[in-house]
A and B are shown apart, each in its own frame.
Chain A
Amino acid sequence: AQSVTQLDSQVPVFEEAPVELRCNYSSSVSVYLFWYVQYPNQGLQLLLKYLSGSTLVKGINGFEAEFNKSQTSFHLRKPSVHISDTAEYFCAVSEVGGADGLTFGKGTHLIIQP
Chain B
Amino acid sequence: NAGVTQTPKFQVLKTGQSMTLQCAQDMNHEYMSWYRQDPGMGLRLIHYSVGAGITDQGEVPNGYNVSRSTTEDFPLRLLSAAPSQTSVYFCASSYSNEGGGYTFGSGTRLTVV
Interfacial residues, chain A to chain B (CB-CB below 8 A): 4, 6, 9, 32, 34, 36, 42-46, 49, 51, 90, 92, 94-107
* With A100-B58, A101-B45: A42-B106 Cβ-Cβ less than 8 Å: yes
A60 to chain B, nearest CB (A): 12
* With A49-B101, A51-B99, A94-B99: A105-B42 Cβ-Cβ less than 8 Å: yes
Q: How many A-B pairs with Cβ below 8 Å? A: 73
Taking a contact as CB atoms under 8 Å apart, the answer to whether B90 and A101 are in contact is: no
Taking a contact as CB atoms under 8 Å apart, the answer to whether A101 and B42 are in contact is: no
Interfacial residues, chain B to chain A (CB-CB below 8 A): 31, 33, 35, 40-45, 48, 50, 56, 58, 90, 92, 97-99, 101-107
Can you list 14 A-B contacts (CB < 8 A)? A4-B42, A6-B42, A36-B104, A45-B104, A46-B101, A49-B101, A90-B42, A94-B97, A101-B33, A102-B92, A104-B35, A105-B42, A106-B41, A107-B42
Taking a contact as CB atoms under 8 Å apart, the answer to whether A43 and B42 are in contact is: no
* With A99-B50, A106-B41: A44-B104 Cβ-Cβ less than 8 Å: yes
Which residue in chain B gives the minimum CB-CB distance to A94? Answer: B97
Taking a contact as CB atoms under 8 Å apart, the answer to whether B101 and A34 are in contact is: yes
Partner of A102, one of B56, B98, B102, B107: B102
Taking a contact as CB atoms under 8 Å apart, the answer to whether B90 and A100 are in contact is: no
Provide the residues of chain A in CB contact with B105, threshold 8 Å. 43
Provide the residues of chain A in CB contact with B101, threshold 8 Å. 34, 46, 49
